[in-house]
Chain A
Amino acid sequence: MAVPAFWATPFSYTELLAVTDVATAIAGIHTALIALGWTDDSGVGTGPWKTPARSDGAFFKIALTRTSATRLSFMMYDQAGINVSAGTAYCMDVEAAGNPFQIFAGTMHLALNSARPAQHESAWFSMMDQTPEPLTFPQAYYRMYSGPRVGSSFYNYGWNFTYCLYPGGTAYQQRQVAPLRMPGTTSTWQRRTVALTSLFSPAEFADSGNTPPMFLGRIPQAIVVDDTTGIVAGAEVIVPIDAGVNATFKVLGLASYYQQRLAFRKS
């Protein structure tokens, strides 16, 4: 057995302590991305940053803007240059007095978490893992979280609120997509075994709007955790991802969805 492809991509984790100016966060993100082989279009550390090309040439770009000392704005572009959030500049805040800021970077994903004491603010961007499908068919598939805020308006969306280009679609749409591996509709189910061992699963999605629904792919280096077990934003869980191989994942601040939270790989 081997570590699954979606947990085998290069990744890194960086925590910046007491960030009071998002310029510090941008510099940290730049350092993390360049170390993973991303390229900085500006050449001077201001981006946009472009992922390493996948074996079929697919990539995406992230643009980051310091709107103010406490507000970081971002945009995502797919390999065709299309703005994934249809022109909406989402952003996230840090405390004026400073707060920890976590950067989960990888060759196919980027997740950010501003650990504000009252409410974490998080965002994620990804090219989805579709293995074992051939890479070039039908297309690379991208996702961007719809949040956490537009200007001063904070949206505590569930982590499955995303922008994505649906099969057959011509423009990215804001859609609530369906995570997989969930048994029911109510709180009478837990992601636990009968022996009460917690179940963690890949962060994978289906397009439930189609009949029959289609499998859309997985976020690399991410898992879904059950928050009925008391897991909260910032919590870390150690999960076996192969025989004798453990990985540590950290829960983002995105709202729970059907008792599930999203966590990214830390180590």
Chain B
Amino acid sequence: MVPRFLSTGFKYVEIPAFTDVQQVIDAAVALVTSPTDPSSGWTRFTLDGNGYYCSPITSLLVPQFKFKLTRSTQYRLTLQCRGANDVTLAPTNPNCSLQIPANPCSARVFAGDGQFCIDITTYTTNGETVWCGSLDQTPDVINFPGINTAWCMGSRRDSDFARQYSTWSYVTLQQGDDQAIMQELTDMHRVSGGGNGPARNLSGSLIYWPRELFAKVRGDTGVYGVGHWIGRSWQIILVPDTGMVPGSKFYCPIDAGVLGQFYSLVGLTTAYGRIPAIRIG
């Protein structure tokens, strides 16, 4: 059986040679509002009264998230994210923007029931990314009180567009009832003692893992409390940063006889020896 976090609807589009982030916003809106297609499992997003595009509620097991894209300048774009409770994540300490160069560049936009991502794939040295989504916490109880599953992050700080916390392991989450915090998540698939998890098996095959994460969001003790497993990202996996070039399109077996196709992201830098990849097929 295909794992639940790889069983939700998804879609993606490539945007070649654009010079204004408005083109990316337009393409992203067109993508998420494209008609529902039961044959592919795709369900369209809806627009709420606050300008947020709301992920479809296709199952009670897939928490809703909402996002809004804003063009700050021709070259700068900001993403805002909310959970189903309409609390805006990190309204005062946002790190959820990206910047494009003056020369034409290209992008990929990924969307689905539990994820949204814009990945700028051509830049001078680094790509740029904004992404957000909700988390698969099954088989645990859903929506544990005080824990919202929405998350977001981007390559740059919104206030001055300085590049900051641009590794994939930094995200903004809601802590408790009323705080939105930025913190570094921890990849679950590490080894005791804090080392990176294995990249290959004994025969040399690359190992891919779900993006399963630990974070300090309960506030049991201290500022951020004790770290706990907070769930796995929908349709996102982690791949080794050795042996996998950012921007690669590759296949990964997701069940016996079933292959999923993924793109590794360009705009988020490595953490724990891994880079993220998002499902496209």
Contacts and interface: CB of A to CB of B under 8 A. Distances in A.
Interface stretch (A54-62, A131-139, A245-253): A131-139
Contacts of A217: 202
Contacts of B141: 195, 197
Contacts of B137: 193-195
B240 to A, nearest CB: 6
A260 B195 contact: no
A9 B193 CA distance: 30
Contacts of B242: 212
A188 B273 CA distance: 22
Name, among A178, A191, A196, A212, the residue most crowded by chain B CB atoms within 10 Å (CB to CB). Answer: A212
B186 A213 contact: no
B195 to A, nearest CB: 4
Interface string A132-148: 01100111010000000
Tell me the interface secondary structure of chain B in the complex.
loop
Contact of A160 (B1, B192, B197, B222): B192
B20 interface: no
Interface stretch (B91-99, B117-125, B225-233): B225-233
Interface string A167-193: 100000000001111111100111111
B201 interface: yes
A167 B192 contact: no
A39 interface: no
A216 B191 CA distance: 12
B227 A189 contact: yes
B228 A194 contact: yes
A103 B273 CA distance: 40
Contacts of B140: 193-195, 197
B226 A190 contact: yes
B192 A258 contact: yes
A217 B222 CA distance: 37
Tier of interface size on chain A: 35 or more
A178 B207 contact: no
Contact of A138 (B190, B197, B203, B228): B203
A134 B187 CA distance: 28
Main secondary structure of the interface of A (DSSP, over half): loop
Contacts of B76: none
A214 B201 contact: yes
A180 B226 contact: no
A207 B190 CA distance: 12
A154 to B, nearest CB: 23
A182 B229 contact: no
A194 B217 contact: yes
Contact of B197 (A139, A180, A188, A190): A180
B216 interface: yes
Given A194-B137, A212-B273, 19 more contacts: A130-B202, A137-B203, A141-B202, A178-B193, A180-B190, A182-B190, A188-B216, A189-B186, A192-B228, A193-B137, A193-B231, A195-B147, A196-B228, A197-B140, A199-B229, A207-B198, A213-B191, A214-B198, A215-B202
Top-9 shortest CB links A-B: A212-B199, A178-B191, A185-B194, A183-B214, A189-B227, A215-B198, A206-B198, A258-B192, A195-B144
6 contacts: A181-B189, A181-B190, A183-B187, A184-B190, A194-B137, A213-B199
Interface of B: 1, 137, 139-141, 144, 147, 186-203, 205, 207, 214, 216-218, 222, 226-231, 240, 242-243, 273
